Amino acid sequence: MRLANKAMRLAGALLAVLSFLPADGVLAQAECDKPVYLTFDTGHMGVARLIGDVLDRQKVLATFFIANEPTRTGGASLDDHWAPWWREMASRGHLFASHTYDHVYWLADLPDGRFRVRPSAGPDAGRVREWTGDQYCDELARADARFEQITGQRLAALFRAAGGKTSPALVRAALECGYMHVGWSPAGFLGDELPSDRYPNAQLLERALRTIRPGDILMAHLGIWSRQDPWAPAVLEPLIVGLKQRGFCFATMEAHPGYRNFLLTGQAGTEPIWTH
């Protein structure tokens, strides 16, 4: 089962990489010796349009890890309400990958090779379940199927576990069916899910500009329910501008040396990969 799924994923991965190559009218990958990789996970989508506008204005490409999470519009992030926005973002040349369809958290490895998990969205939200590796792979593929239905494009053969929580066994299970995990660099945790009373936006911006280094994978969300003072409206554009002034450029994950070979060949490389 997993070998067959992996073969299908390898073919899809190459098509996904080719489909995201810039064409006329979309943003191009910047080239420099100080790249960073800006990534976004889904959330309540309240700042999604703002983020898309900032990226377009700054001519920056990003990688989006997508799940079907509850939104402020009363629906979910991959529903028909948001489908036009995803199509527009895909047309601009951004890269997209799975975040598990129901935003499923890994909780523990079990002795029989299964995993204890808990979805935070969908019909089983909040309920602890025990899954096989194949079931987890099926969950990754559900996001791919929905994205293809919306945009006509496949997701890249990458995923980010909900909350970034994984185990070596979970990462291996996903690799066996053709998905490679993407975490984030320590300095790349941009803090948009931290309480704003203790971590104000000005502090988060200053810390990011001071600590981000070339090659870092940066992570934020399209909306966080718990943060009172939203991060993106205050921080995202000053962060991009500030990093550009320091000589940084932005690229999507298919340009990352730790993932580029995998996306083209399906073979994991030996380069060190940040987890979180």
Question: Whole-structure pTM over 0.85, yes or no?
Answer: yes
**Mean pLDDT of the region 157-166:** 97
92-120 burial by CB neighbour count: b if 16+ within 10 A, else e? bbbbbbbbbbbbbbbeeeeeeebbebbbb
Q: How do residues 179-235 score in pLDDT, each as one tens digit? A: 999 999 999 999 999 999 999 999 999 999 999 999 999 999 999 999 999 999 999
pLDDT at residue number 3: 52
Is the pLDDT reported for residue 22 higher than 60?
no
- pLDDT higher than threshold 50 for residue 18: no
Handedness of CA 110, 140, 167, 261 (dihedral sign): positive
pLDDT of residue 267: 79
Say which residue the tokens 């980010």 belong to: 160
Asked if the model's pLDDT at residue 250 lies above 70, the reply is yes
Q: Per residue in 63-89, pLDDT tens?
A: 999 999 999 989 999 999 999 999 999
Place of tokens 């490895």: 109
- Output the six-digit token pair for 17: 């990489």
CA 199, 205, 207, 213 torsion: positive or negative?
positive
Is residue 123 packed enough to be buried (19+ CB in 10 Å), middle (13-18) or exposed (0-12)?
exposed
Say if strands 35-41 and 249-250 run parallel, antiparallel, or are unpaired: parallel
